[in-house]
C-alpha cells in the first residue's frame, strides 16, 4: 500500500468516527429523557387546561338550562296542562292563629273552561308554621265549592261559568278574603274611547264616547277616573274639569259588560285641563318672550297702549328659521304666513288671558305684542 492510499484510509476512518460520535451525541439518553419529560409535562398541562375549560363550559350551559334558557324545556313546561287540586283526606291540624296573609288568583282573568290558580301570601308567621297550618278554601262561581288540607297552597280550580268569581280562605283560624277573579265568556271588542276635545278649561265638562261590540248583547257601561268623579251609564261618560287638574292630562276608564258576564276595561283618550285664572306666562308690548312649543299654555295679554288706531298684533317667529302653527279657539284672527312667522290680531283681547298651543319642530319661539 502506498503512502498516499494509507493517508486516504486514515482520513476516512477519522471522518467516519466523528460521524458516529456525532450521531451518538444527538441520541444522548439523559437528554432524550429530559426532552420526553418536558413534552409529557407540557401535554399534561394542555390536556388539564382543555379539560378545565370543557368543565367550565359544561357548568355554564347547565346553569343556563336550569334557569330556563333551554327552549325545549320551556316549551314542555309551558304546555304542561294544570290539574285540578283535590281536597286532602288528612286530619287537619289545630288552628293556632299564628299564620295570616292575603290570597289572590293568578292570573286575575281567565277564559270560561280554564283553570285558575289561587295562592296564599303569608304576612304573619314563618314558613314552617304555614306548612303545618290548616287551610280551608271556599269558592263561588267555580266547579269546586271547597278544599282543605294542611299547608294547602296554591290550589288549581276550574271555571265553566263566566262572571266574577270569589274565594275565601280560613288559614290557621284566620279568615282571609281573596282578590276577585274575572272569568270571561263571549269576548267584547272595544275599538275606541274618544274625547270631545283635546283641551278644556277648568269648570267645563269633559265628554268621552266609547265604541264597543260583542256577539253577546252588551248590558252595561261603567265609568271611573282617578282624577275626579266620572259618571255615565251608557256609551257616553262625563267628568267636570276642575282647577286642581290644571296642566294635567286626565283620562277615564270605561268597563263594558255583556250578557255572557264578560267584562272588558279600556282607558280613554287623555284631555289637558287648563285653569285660565292662572297665567303660565305674560306677553309684553314691543318685547319678545320665549314661549315653549307643544304645550297648552294660558297666556296673559297686556293692557296694550301706543297704537293710534287701537290695533295690536301678537307676533311670533324664530330667530334662526323654523316653522310653527298657532292653535287657539280664543284668538279670532291669525295669519300663519306658511309657518315662517305668525301674526294674530288681539285688539279685542286687551288685558285678557287666552289659551293657546304653538306646534313646531323647535322647542321655543319668540312672541311679543306690536302696535299697528
- Same structural domain, 258 and 293: no
Domain-embedded: residue 255? yes
Domain-embedded: residue 342? yes
Residue 299 to residue 352: CA distance in whole angstroms: 8
Least confident of 47-56, 187-196, 214-223, 330-339: 47-56
* CATH number of the domain residue 119 falls in: 2.60.40.1930
- Same structural domain, 121 and 177: yes
Collapsed DSSP state (helix, strand, coil) of residue 321:
coil
Q: State CA 231 to chain mean position distance.
A: 29
Q: What digits encode the pLDDT tens for the residues 260-269?
A: 999 999 999 9
Q: What digits encode the pLDDT tens for the residues 320-367?
A: 778 899 999 889 788 887 777 899 999 999 899 999 999 999 999 999
- In the predicted model, is pLDDT for residue 18 greater than 50? no
Structural domain span for residue 262: 188-274
- Same structural domain, 340 and 362: yes
- In the predicted model, is pLDDT for residue 156 greater than 80? yes
Domain-embedded: residue 56? no
pLDDT of residue 117: 98
- Same structural domain, 290 and 259: no
* CATH number of the domain residue 351 falls in: 2.60.40
Among 169, 92, 88, 100, which residue's Cα sits nearest to residue 129?
100
Find where cell 304576612 sits.
Answer: 123
Give burial (CB, 10 Å; 0-12/13-18/19+) of 235. middle
pTM for this entry: 0.64
Amino acid at each position: 500500500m502506498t503512502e498516499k492510499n494509507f493517508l486516504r484510509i486514515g482520513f476516512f476512518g477519522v471522518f467516519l468516527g466523528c460521524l458516529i460520535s456525532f450521531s451518538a451525541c444527538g441520541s444522548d439518553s439523559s437528554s432524550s429523557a429530559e426532552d420526553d419529560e418536558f413534552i409529557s409535562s407540557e401535554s399534561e398541562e394542555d390536556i388539564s387546561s382543555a379539560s378545565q375549560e370543557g368543565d367550565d363550559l359544561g357548568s355554564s350551559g347547565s346553569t343556563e338550562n336550569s334557569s330556563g334558557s333551554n327552549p325545549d324545556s320551556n316549551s314542555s313546561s309551558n304546555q304542561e296542562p294544570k290539574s285540578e287540586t283535590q281536597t286532602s283526606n288528612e286530619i287537619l291540624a289545630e288552628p293556632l292563629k299564628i299564620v295570616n296573609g292575603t290570597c289572590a288568583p293568578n292570573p286575575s282573568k281567565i277564559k270560561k273552561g280554564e283553570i285558575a290558580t289561587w295562592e296564599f301570601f303569608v304576612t304573619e308567621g314563618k314558613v314552617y308554621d304555614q306548612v303545618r297550618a290548616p287551610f280551608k278554601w271556599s269558592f263561588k262561581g267555580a266547579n269546586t265549592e271547597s278544599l282543605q288540607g294542611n299547608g294547602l297552597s296554591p290550589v288549581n280550580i276550574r271555571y265553566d261559568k263566566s262572571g266574577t268569581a270569589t274565594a275565601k280562605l280560613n288559614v290557621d283560624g284566620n279568615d282571609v278574603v281573596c282578590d276577585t277573579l274575572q272569568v270571561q265568556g263571549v269576548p267584547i271588542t272595544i275599538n275606541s274611547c274618544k274625547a270631545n276635545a283635546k283641551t278644556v278649561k277648568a269648570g267645563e265638562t269633559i265628554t268621552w264616547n266609547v265604541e264597543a261590540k260583542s256577539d253577546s248583547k252588551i248590558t252595561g257601561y261603567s265609568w271611573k277616573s282617578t282624577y275626579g268623579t266620572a259618571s255615565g251609564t251608557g256609551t257616553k261618560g262625563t267628568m267636570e274639569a276642575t282647577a286642581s287638574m290644571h296642566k294635567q292630562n286626565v283620562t277615564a276608564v270605561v268597563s263594558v259588560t255583556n250578557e255572557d258576564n264578560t267584562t272588558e276595561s279600556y282607558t280613554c283618550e287623555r284631555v289637558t285641563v287648563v285653569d285660565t285664572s292662572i297665567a303660565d306666562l305674560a306677553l309684553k308690548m314691543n318685547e319678545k318672550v320665549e314661549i315653549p312649543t307643544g304645550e297648552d299654555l294660558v297666556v296673559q295679554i297686556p293692557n296694550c297702549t301706543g297704537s293710534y288706531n287701537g290695533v295690536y298684533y301678537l307676533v311670533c317667529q324664530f330667530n334662526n328659521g323654523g316653522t310653527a302653527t298657532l292653535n287657539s279657539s280664543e284668538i279670532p284672527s291669525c295669519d300663519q304666513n306658511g309657518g315662517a312667522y305668525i301674526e294674530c290680531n288681539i285688539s279685542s283681547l286687551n288685558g285678557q288671558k287666552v289659551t293657546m298651543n304653538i306646534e313646531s319642530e323647535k322647542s321655543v319661539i319668540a312672541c311679543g305684542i306690536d302696535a299697528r
